[in-house]
Amino acid sequence: MSRLALGDPDRIVPTPPVRPWLRPGQVADLVRDRLSYRSAPLGLVRTATRERLGAELVEGLPVGDDVPYVTRLWAETRVVVDRSGPAYLVGEDATDRVTLEPRPVATELAFVEHLVGSRWFLAYPDRVRAAVATKLLRIHVFGAVLHRPDPLWWTAQERTDLAGVVRSVLAVAHTAADPLSLADHDLLEACLDPSTPAERLGALARARRRHGRPRTLLPRHPSLVLHPEAPGPFMTASLAACGLRGRRGAAS
């Protein structure tokens, strides 16, 4: 797995936020190295590996069709992360970005329901399901709320659909929310309760991004302060991924 950069080699995309001390050539661990945060299937993949796994982009999904695909790659193959070599340059010349177009929550997060309902995903160990599910909540569910700041957008149906997606995720990974910050839990509870005013839903989505404040730094369960998905270790690894500027490295 090589690094990614947007448009310019110095604009490093800090995914996945691997352990800062991961050595070159060392096999990465999906949980400890947070591999599920790399959703982009960019790079070289052996055809034989893809066929063996049955890993394919999901037809019919306007968003997230690549997430189940890469989840299988990271969970079921040997992954070596190039932390310091040249980055895989991602172009930014597209005139339309399908992922950013507003659409109903049920449509935008359909890939989440597909992923957590897949037989192969349900067969993963608890720790793997939880790691992937934490990322789904933190990035995709919370992101869907943040990018819909107008309270009028949140109809009763949209709130019901949002709550349904969150319940589906937690049903297959009961501990997924445990290492999240206090601010994350504030938003999570609002997502699960359609009666929470839409104005408050939006305010909580913004509040969880005020990094550095106590509620964004502390996990709800103090015993999980060193968990890979807890705010401290996660932010530290993300900053380290942004800061690496190596010239050499081996892609996997």
Per residue in 75-87, pLDDT (tens digit) is: 998 888 877 777 7
- Whether residue 99 is predicted with pLDDT greater than 80 in this model: the reply is no
Using alpha carbons, list the distances in angstroms from residue 46 to 50, 55, 88. Answer: 6, 11, 17
Question: Residue 251: which pLDDT band, with cuts at 50, 70 and 90?
Answer: very low
Residue entry with tokens 């037809």: 59
> Given this model, what pLDDT does residue 50 score?
77
Alpha-carbon gap, residue 146 to 141, rounded angstroms: 9
- Looking at every residue in the chain, the average pLDDT score rounds to 87
Instruction: Give phi and psi for 249, each to the nearest 5.
Output: 165, 160
Task: Pull the structure tokens for residue 128.
Answer: 């793997």
> Given this model, what pLDDT does residue 43 score?
66
Q: Which region among 80-89, 131-140, 205-214 has the lowest average model confidence (pLDDT)?
A: 80-89
> Given this model, what pLDDT does residue 7 score?
73
- Whether residue 248 is predicted with pLDDT greater than 60 in this model: the reply is no
Alpha helix stretches (DSSP H) within the chain: 47-53, 67-76, 105-108, 110-116, 119-122, 126-135, 142-146, 156-172, 182-192, 198-207, 214-217, 231-243
Alpha-carbon gap, residue 133 to 69, rounded angstroms: 15
Q: Name which residue leads in pLDDT, 26 or 203.
A: 203
Instruction: Give phi and psi for 12, each to the nearest 5.
Output: -70, 135
Task: Pull the structure tokens for residue 221.
Answer: 């369960």
pLDDT in tens, 28-86: 999 999 999 998 777 667 788 777 887 777 888 889 999 999 999 999 988 888 777 77
Q: Name which residue leads in pLDDT, 108 or 90.
A: 108
The beta-carbon contacts of 184-188 under 8 Å, at least 24 apart in sequence, are 184/137, 184/138, 184/142, 184/208, 184/220, 185/220, 186/215, 187/142, 187/145, 188/137
Alpha-carbon gap, residue 233 to 88, rounded angstroms: 25
> Given this model, what pLDDT does residue 11 score?
78
Instruction: Give phi and psi for 5, each to the nearest 5.
Output: -140, 145
> Given this model, what pLDDT does residue 249 score?
32
For the chain, the domains span 4-243
Mean pLDDT confidence for 6-10: 73
pTM for the whole structure: 0.89
> Given this model, what pLDDT does residue 188 score?
98
